[in-house]
Amino acid sequence: WLGIPFSVMFAAALLGNSLLLATIHSERSLHQPMYVLLAMLAVTDMGLCTTIVPKMLGIFWFALGDIRFNACLTQMFFIHAFQATESGVLLAMAFDRFVAICKPLRHSAILSNQVLSVIGILLLLRPVLLIVPVIILIKRLRSYRSTVIAHSYCEHMAIVKLAAVDVRVNKAYGLFVAFVILGFDLLLITLSYLLIFRAVFRLPERAARLKAMNTCVPHLCVFLEFYVLGFFSFLAHRFGHGISHCVHILLSSFYLLVPPTLNPLVYGIGNAAIRHSVQKMM
């Protein structure tokens, strides 16, 4: 029965993000930095849920609980790479909103096609450079107390906890990567929105303030759902010894599935341009 809500969320995520991509691709008026970044987010969301759900449904429905060690590490790499990419896209979207509201006359010059291309390359390079050492550090572990991962997907700490040798280096590097990606991105996103809100509240007209706030609300909803669930999963692995194991597994799984499912709804409903383009395409 657990596979039913996960499969529904998976189907909704694929359908919603595919529709979002098709809308942005087909509507020339949406070929702007904000929507290009939104398309990057949709691709990342589809990759993230595709990495975990098929294997998860195989466990729930067909008792396919076995996975080869290298396949497990491959799944782990893509999960954390897509997580890091999504965090980077959210940071880029916050920067886009900052430029659009605080420096509107220079928006097209600052976020040109060349800058967007550089951002896209950095979003791909950062996860690879940071997560490949994680794989190398795990490969050097030679003995394990168990080969049973108490999780529905291969996650870094879930694998490291099985080792029968000293894993302090693995844990320390895992913390470093988490804070470099999630912590650094969250800090910059928070700073961007503090500057945005300061600029918004200085606008003389109430209608202009409301319009600026309406463009920020969908982004804030996406940031909160991603980072709140992300930090819960991260901290629960290390300090949540009193949390029920089933609760931890379910919430960690929802952490990877809720954002890809809700993001198309948040932006589709909250963004008038996308809403009108979808209606026109239909």
Residues 6+ apart with CB under 8 A from 186: 227
Q: What is the mean pLDDT of residues 202-231?
A: 75
Assess whether pLDDT exceeds 70 at residue 99. yes
Helices 206-239, 69-102: inter-axial angle, 10-degree rounding: 160
Residue 143 has pLDDT above 70, yes or no: yes
Q: What is the pLDDT of residue 102?
A: 85
Residue 268 has pLDDT above 80, yes or no: no
> Which of the two residues, 142 and 248, has the higher pLDDT score?
142
Query: What architecture (CATH level 2) is domain 2-281?
Result: Up-down Bundle (1.20)
Q: What percentage of residues in the chain have a pLDDT greater than 90?
A: 45
Helix (H) or strand (E) holding 111: none
Query: Which distant-in-sequence residues (6+ apart) come within 8 Å of 28 by Cβ?
Result: none
Full-model pTM: 0.90
Whole-number percent of the chain with pLDDT over 70: 95
CA dist 76 and 154 (Å) reads 5
Residues 6+ apart with CB under 8 A from 53: 6, 7, 9, 10, 257
Of residues 281 and 177, more confidently modeled: 177
Mean pLDDT of 150-175: 90
Residue 236 confidence (pLDDT) above 70: no
Q: Which of 62-66, 187-191, 202-206, 264-268 has the lowest mean pLDDT?
A: 202-206
Domain ranges of the chain: 2-281
For residue 174, pLDDT beyond 80: yes
Q: What is the mean pLDDT of residues 76-97?
A: 93
C-beta separation of 261 from 12 below 8 A:
yes
Mean pLDDT of the chain: 87
